[in-house]
Chain A
Amino acid sequence: MAKDFDPSGRLPDVFTNAGTSSFTQFLTYAAPEMLPGRRPLPPGLAGDLAPHGTTIVAIATAEGVVMAGDRRATMGNLIASRDIEKVHPADSYSLIGIAGTAGIGIELMRLFQVELEHYEKIEGIMLSLDGKANRLAGMVRGNLGAAMQGLAVVPLFAGYDLSPTDPSKAGRIFSFDVAGGLYEETGYDSIGSGSLFAKSALKKKYRKGVSTEDAVRLAVEALYDAADDDTATGGPDVTRKIYPVVMSATAQGTRRLTEEEITAVAEQVVAGRMENPGG
């Protein structure tokens, strides 16, 4: 796997040198072929080749943040997956959601998870939330070449800041653009094809200092609104019992809502829409 294995059988220098605390940087020496953005792509647009993930929303709450994502991946007019999971924990206090080319997004997410854990283990200290966001921006930037050929991926990053400047703003949300631009958002944000509708819904309903419980409801409502107007976003699938993935990050760490919890919330939202389709 790693190139240049020493014939004596000892681990190659790239493993033992003091160098870097970054896993990605280590990979650029040890196994560059494993990095996204390092593979040569043939010319031409490749956007229709692979499934696309769609809408993610994140909301800052009184206790931290809530992030939710629908379960659909599309390929042109086809539904490529009904139950893809696009919201994941990045480490014990932060969450990452991905939109865009699903394969590259999942790879980026996995690499970012290892990156954070690797730094923790090597240094014995966690990266600051800003540090994590900047690191992720760098990784998105590395994918610019592929993005220009239609394989774009844009993450949404949110987390609980263990050392915030202002304790009431411990839950923080960061958005990115394909060129690796990093922007801190206030209150809430959404990415993906249905983000326009999800953000409009949140704009009307979001209040500063919302509780985690209410934010979960808000997030599911926003995803419902996105699915209502965007064909690439999946709504709650009551026949198959497939509901959005909802996670929270608070001082107690990250947590994914159980199947029962999210079923209850999604059923309430659907019941509400039976009476008033506009929410």
Chain B
Amino acid sequence: MAMQFYASPEQVQRDRSEYARKGIARGRSAVVLTYEGGILLVAENITTLRKISEIYDRIGFAAVGRYNEFENLRRAGVRMADLNGYSYDRRDVTGRGLANAFTQTLGAIFSETQKPYEVEICIAQVGASPEADELYRITYDGSVMDEPGFMAMGGQAEAISTVLREGHDEAADLPTALALAAKALGSVGGENGQTRELEAKQLEVAVLDRRRKGRTFRRIAGTALTTLLGHGSVAEQDLGETDAAPPSPAEDKPTISAASVDLEGATDESADEVNGDGS
């Protein structure tokens, strides 16, 4: 039988922390900050896989680190929120409750499993005024911090936080807040310590809109995002109506049938033209 070497608990914890921190530092960062009209969530993200998402009416989620791990937590959050909202009332789902569940879960994973989660997540709950906003930052070991006003997550969170701290104003409007977020995210990662100018397609942006009733989460993308980044203002209704995109166009087949559309005998003329030139 192989000899087990002794490792002190402190050493084990330190090793796990270091492992998790290194994992998180490899990815791009995200920032969350309050502004006059709500809470702004911005992540540097060039993929279509999302780092920012809606959890419930007034609660949003942002994460950095390993996608499969935070996606796992996000699903758990949505399920927990929907279960509580369904069995009690929509008003009874709170950011603090979710933060508690996440901190317990991440804490247990950190101390009990071989590999800790390499994630850092933010639960944001928008209130009636900027003072009533709640931002919870939960790290890989399950520790939770209640951050007033703004927070940064990811590799160089410290440096990004410094930029946010200098510029943050909770009375700022959306374009100003977005400009600050983009500046903060662009302040790191450039060659030789240079700052970077981030474009619309490098950013994933969403807001929790304080003034809306019901589901307040709105994704900002496309032309609306480009206009906002250029300090232009965008009408509220153009910010995107719901989080979810509509499904792709329907095919002409009966709803009741579960068979594939080609079995309905539909003639697809374009298919014949593919080789219509004799090729």
Is B86 a contact partner of A124 (Cβ separation < 8 A)?
Answer: no
Which among B78, B242, B245 is the interface contact of A122 at CB below 8 angstroms? Answer: B78
Interface string of B237-277 (1 = CB under 8 A from A): 00001111111111110111000000000000000000000
Query: In the assembly, what is the distance between CA of A126 and CA of B83, in Å?
Result: 20
Query: In the assembly, what is the distance between CA of A11 and CA of B138, in Å?
Result: 15
Query: In the assembly, what is the distance between CA of A148 and CA of B101, in Å?
Result: 41
Please name the residue on chain B nearest to A14 by beta carbon: B79
Is A128 a contact partner of B247 (Cβ separation < 8 A)?
Answer: yes
Is A161 a contact partner of B250 (Cβ separation < 8 A)?
Answer: yes
B172 contacts the other chain (CB 8 A): no
Is B250 a contact partner of A120 (Cβ separation < 8 A)?
Answer: no
Residues A114 and B82 in contact in the complex (CB < 8 Å), given A92-B242, A124-B245, A163-B249: yes
Residues A122 and B249 in contact in the complex (CB < 8 Å), given A111-B86, A114-B86: no
Is A31 a contact partner of B83 (Cβ separation < 8 A)?
Answer: yes
B112 contacts the other chain (CB 8 A): yes
Is A163 a contact partner of B255 (Cβ separation < 8 A)?
Answer: no
Interface string of A51-69 (1 = CB under 8 A from B): 0000000000000000000
Please name the residue on chain B nearest to A123 by beta carbon: B244
Which among B75, B78, B245, B255 is the interface contact of A18 at CB below 8 angstroms? Answer: B75
Query: In the assembly, what is the distance between CA of A127 and CA of B108, in Å?
Result: 35
A6 contacts the other chain (CB 8 A): yes
Query: In the assembly, what is the distance between CA of A182 and CA of B258, in Å?
Result: 12
For residue A1, which residues in chain B have a CB less than 8 angstroms away from its CB?
Answer: 83, 87
Please name the residue on chain B nearest to A27 by beta carbon: B83
Query: In the assembly, what is the distance between CA of A253 and CA of B242, in Å?
Result: 10
Is B108 a contact partner of A6 (Cβ separation < 8 A)?
Answer: yes
Is B83 a contact partner of A120 (Cβ separation < 8 A)?
Answer: no
Interface string of A152-193 (1 = CB under 8 A from B): 000000000111110000000010000000111000000000
A204 contacts the other chain (CB 8 A): no
Is A92 a contact partner of B255 (Cβ separation < 8 A)?
Answer: no
Is B80 a contact partner of A11 (Cβ separation < 8 A)?
Answer: yes
Tell me the smallest distance from the CB of B247 to a CB of chain A, in Å.
4
The residues in B between 144 and 165 inclusive whose CB is less than 8 angstroms from any CB of A are none
B127 contacts the other chain (CB 8 A): no
Is A15 a contact partner of B245 (Cβ separation < 8 A)?
Answer: no
Tell me the smallest distance from the CB of A32 to a CB of chain B, in Å.
12
Is B105 a contact partner of A11 (Cβ separation < 8 A)?
Answer: yes
Tell me the smallest distance from the CB of A276 to a CB of chain B, in Å.
40
Is A163 a contact partner of B246 (Cβ separation < 8 A)?
Answer: yes
Please name the residue on chain A nearest to B254 by beta carbon: A184
Is B250 a contact partner of A125 (Cβ separation < 8 A)?
Answer: no
For residue B245, which residues in chain A have a CB less than 8 angstroms away from its CB?
Answer: 124-126
The residues in B between 211 and 246 inclusive whose CB is less than 8 angstroms from any CB of A are 215, 241-246
For residue A174, which residues in chain B have a CB less than 8 angstroms away from its CB?
Answer: 255
A206 contacts the other chain (CB 8 A): no
Is A92 a contact partner of B241 (Cβ separation < 8 A)?
Answer: yes
Tell me the smallest distance from the CB of A162 to a CB of chain B, in Å.
4
Please name the residue on chain A nearest to B251 by beta carbon: A165
Is A122 a contact partner of B75 (Cβ separation < 8 A)?
Answer: yes
Please name the residue on chain A nearest to B84 by beta carbon: A1
Interface string of B155-187 (1 = CB under 8 A from A): 000000000000000000000000000000000
For residue B246, which residues in chain A have a CB less than 8 angstroms away from its CB?
Answer: 125-126, 162-163
Is B104 a contact partner of A9 (Cβ separation < 8 A)?
Answer: yes
For residue B50, which residues in chain A have a CB less than 8 angstroms away from its CB?
Answer: 124
For residue A131, which residues in chain B have a CB less than 8 angstroms away from its CB?
Answer: 247
B209 contacts the other chain (CB 8 A): no
The residues in B between 73 and 117 inclusive whose CB is less than 8 angstroms from any CB of A are 73, 75-76, 78-80, 82-83, 85-87, 101, 104-105, 107-109, 112
Tell me the smallest distance from the CB of A164 to a CB of chain B, in Å.
6
Is A120 a contact partner of B244 (Cβ separation < 8 A)?
Answer: yes
Please name the residue on chain A nearest to B72 by beta carbon: A16
Q: Which 8 A-B pairs have the closest CB atoms?
A: A10-B108, A162-B246, A120-B244, A8-B108, A15-B76, A10-B105, A9-B104, A128-B247
Selected A-B contacts with CB under 8 Å, 9 pairs: A10-B104, A11-B104, A111-B86, A114-B82, A118-B79, A130-B255, A134-B255, A162-B246, A165-B250
A interface with B by C-beta (< 8 Å): 1-2, 6, 8-11, 15-16, 18, 23, 26-27, 30-31, 34, 92, 110-111, 114, 117-118, 120-131, 133-134, 161-165, 174, 182-184, 253
List 9 extra interface pairs beyond A111-B86, A121-B244, CB under 8 A. A1-B87, A10-B105, A15-B75, A114-B85, A120-B243, A121-B54, A121-B78, A122-B78, A162-B247
